[in-house]
Amino acid sequence: MMKELNLAEIRERIDKIDSEIAKLFEERMNAVHEVAEYKKTKQLPVRDKAREEIVLNNCKKRVQNSAYADGLRKIMAQIIDISCRQEEEYLQSEVSSKAAAQPHGAKIFVGYQGVPGAYSHLALHKYFAGANIEEHNYTLFEDVAQAVKEGEVTYGLLPIENSSTGGITEVYDLVRRYDCHIVGEICVKIEHNLLAYPGTSLDKVTEVYSHPQGFAQCRPFFKQYPKMMQIPYFNTAKGAELVSFKKTDYMAAVAGRQAAELYGLEILASNINANTYNYTRFFVIASEMQEIPNADKITLVVSLKHEPGSLYHMLGSFYHNGLNMLNIESRPIEGKPWEYFFHIDVSGNLHDANVKKAIAEVENSSTYCKVLGNYVGDKI
């Protein structure tokens, strides 16, 4: 006769198994920190796709019941992502610790564009987490670059690219024009909400304030509400600040949840951005180049002869030396019609032999070449 199942006993057995899984997970994370330390000393990138594929393919061999192989593969894929984030946070904390030891002593002076509650403000706190910082906020992106150049602040946070709307071209120009250097980057998830003064109803809103990028990332939402006039403003949090100050029943702002909490606003509609996988990448800039041992990303600006094939041959230098080009943006050169600066992100460390060779080739084939920074790339 078959023994009757006892749910309480089964759950007790599952709890014991979960405890063992938790212990093994903790052991794995401790090993991940050792891997991060090794990669730092050897200047290796965080992600190793070949190694990740081996781990995932081994899932079939590690279960006796093949029906569980797919589930194990999904779990291991998540563990790999968590492990990579752990490595990145560990390496990023190294950069932040380095920043904390700058000439200003215990306090770091950091500038950002906007007001408290802005995504730039969020990026600042994420990047310099745990450091003793003194914040300086500015009205314009250019004000931040100028403050860094003139030594008013040691570091500046500037948004450079959004995963939905692309590069923020003005910032590329400012980094070059003010001769700033990139010493780090941080990615922040963007979750836009429609905010209004408490008691406001959605059907009464006729004016909405936000940065143009915020509106661009929420186009489908506003197509549903054609009576809402989209009014460009300095940035998302500044729009929330205005709505909070005016206290009307017809004004709203597109901003993050942190702005709603800070300015006492109500969320009328949440997560209104079209792309739910919406991130903004921020540059951390300084007046001087910094040498970061575990740097794995390079940003440089190049201009070329105005002749056929010049861009093709320049990009070939990265390909033939095994460098992965991550991004390229063109900006017109003032006073020279149809000639451009190319801002390029590539993987690598300036001390690597293949990187040195590639950059030497680019310098030889260009009319202008400047490395803006070699820093630790932030992965999402």
360: CATH: 3.30.70.260
Alpha helices by DSSP H, the chain: 7-42, 49-57, 69-100, 119-127, 141-149, 169-177, 212-216, 219-223, 236-246, 257-263, 310-320, 353-365
Residues 369 and 312 reside in one and the same domain:
yes
Does residue 361 lie in a domain region? yes
pLDDT bin (cut points 50, 70, 90) of residue 286 is very high
Percent of the chain past pLDDT 90, that is, above it, reads 62
Q: How many domains does the chain have?
A: 3
Is 143 part of any domain?
no
pLDDT tens for residues 334-349? 888 888 999 999 999 9
- Domain final position from 239, 269, 299: 269
Q: Could you confirm whether 280 is annotated as catalytic?
A: yes
Q: Considering the candidates 109, 141, 282, 341, report the single residue annotated as catalytic.
A: 282
Give residue 147's pLDDT.
97
Q: Give the pLDDT confidence score for residue 35 in this predicted structure.
A: 84
Question: Of 99, 128, 148, which residue constitutes the final position of a domain?
Answer: 99
Structural domain boundaries enclosing 15: 7-99
Same domain assignment for residues 86 and 18:
yes
The verdict on 307 and 264 lying in the same domain is no
User: Does residue 349 fall inside a structural domain?
Assistant: yes
Q: Pick the catalytic residue: 141, 280, 341, 342?
A: 280
Of 50, 82, 99, the position where a domain reaches its end is 99
Q: How confident is the model at residue 32 (pLDDT cuts 50, 70, 90)?
A: confident
The tokens of 67 are what?
A: 């029906």
In a domain, 305, yes or no: yes
224 & 301 share domain = no
Residues 12, 93 within the same domain:
yes
Q: What is residue 43's predicted lDDT score, i.e. its pLDDT?
A: 55
- For range 136-143, the mean pLDDT: 95
37 with 89, same domain: the answer is yes
Let me know whether 261 and 312 are in one domain: no
- Those residues whose C-beta lies under 8 Å from the C-beta of residue 231, and which sit 6 or more positions away, are 207, 208, 209
R_g of the chain computed on alpha carbons: 25
Do 362 and 307 fall within a single domain? yes
Instruction: Please indicate, yes or no, if residue 353 is contained in any of the structural domains.
Output: yes
Instruction: List the one residue out of 320, 260, 273, 327 whose CA is nearest residue 300.
Output: 327
Residues 14 and 61 in one domain: yes
d(CA 264, CA 198): 8
Alpha-carbon span 119 to 234, nearest angstrom: 12
Q: The domain that contains 211 carries what CATH number?
A: 3.40.190.10
Give the torsion through C-alpha atoms of 224, 226, 232, 233, to 10 deg.
Answer: -70
SS3 per-residue string spanning 288-353 = CCCCCCCCCEEEEEEECCCCCCHHHHHHHHHHHCCCCEEEEEEEECCCCCCCEEEEEEEECCCCCH
Residue 12, in any domain of the structure: yes
370 forms beta bridges with 301
Are residues 83 and 47 part of one domain? yes
What would the mean pLDDT of 231-246 be, rounded to a whole number?
94
3-state secondary structure of 247: coil
- Whether 209 maps to a domain, the answer reads yes
Q: What is the CATH number for 84? A: 1.20.59.10
One-letter amino acid for residue 124 of the chain: L
Average pLDDT of the chain, as a whole number: 89
* Under 8 Å between Cβ of 194 and 205: yes
Asked if residue 299 is part of any domain, the answer here is yes
Per-residue pLDDT tens for 47-58? Answer: 777 788 888 888
- Neighbouring C-alpha atoms within 13 Å toward the C-beta of 238: 18
User: Residue 78 burial by CB count (10 A; 0-12/13-18/19+): exposed, middle or buried?
Assistant: exposed
Same domain? For 298 and 349 the reply is yes
Tell me, yes or no, if the pTM score tops 0.85: no
pLDDT exceeds cutoff 60 at 222: yes
Question: CA-CA distance, 30 to 22, in Å (whole number)?
Answer: 12
pLDDT for residue 2? 58
**Residue keyed to tokens 């009319």:** 367
At 169-214, the pLDDT tens digits run: 899 999 999 999 999 999 999 999 999 999 999 999 999 999 998 9
